[in-house]
Copies of this chain bind each other. A is one copy, B any other.
Amino acid sequence: MSSAYHRKKQPERVRSQLLEVAARLSLEQGIAALTLDAVSQAAGVSKGGLLHHFPNKLALLDGLFDELVARFDRAIEEAMAADKVEKGRFTRAYLTVCFALDQGAEGQGWQALTIALIAEPHLKARWRAWVARRAAEFATTDSSPDCLLARFAADGVWLADLIRSHELDASTRAAMLEKLKALSLA
């Protein structure tokens, strides 16, 4: 009787819909409210349908993580392509992306990622792996203490965005970004 039986099948569409909904819910209600029932219902899919795409809850979180990290990587890649200077290029891209994270519709998803990231030991390990890979990749251009410090500061700003602990006006943010970018060249 349900419509999904009869509508055209579009597995990857449903899959991404599920991820999107999962991100939204974990942001709005907190990670604890992320139940399979809630996700499937909000996505207009039955629970069985959800479990067809993701065999268990952990797999759903993993999928969420992979998706968002992939976006993060793409954004960084993009920012790096627009940067001619080799030295500190990765760091500047990282800064740019981090500062822009909470802007736009995509920002919401990032926040959900972070929350899960810090709360879940499992995802914590995967993020660690990402950092290690990137650090090794750009060891020759971005391993200076100043670059590292700049990236840490970006993390701090991003954390503040996440918690909404500081109200920053745009000009202050812009000034900070410039200052940190300068640091990546020092």
Contacts and interface: CB of A to CB of B under 8 A. Distances in A.
Interface in A45-91: none
A153 interface: yes
A152 B163 contact: no
A122 to B, nearest CB: 8
Interface residues of A, number: 39
A157 B157 CA distance: 12
B30 A119 contact: yes
A185 interface: no
B149 A176 contact: yes
* Residues of A contacting B: mostly: helix
A14 interface: no
Given A156-B156, A160-B152, A131 B176 contact: no
Contacts of A163: 117-118, 124, 127-128
A124 B148 CA distance: 27
Contacts of A30: 119-121
Interface stretch (A2-10, A36-44, A100-108, A164-172): A164-172
A154 interface: yes
A153 B149 contact: yes
Contact of A131 (B29, B127, B166): B166
- Which 8 pairs between the two chains have the least Cβ-Cβ distance? A152-B156, A155-B156, A156-B156, A153-B153, A131-B165, A119-B119, A31-B119, A128-B165
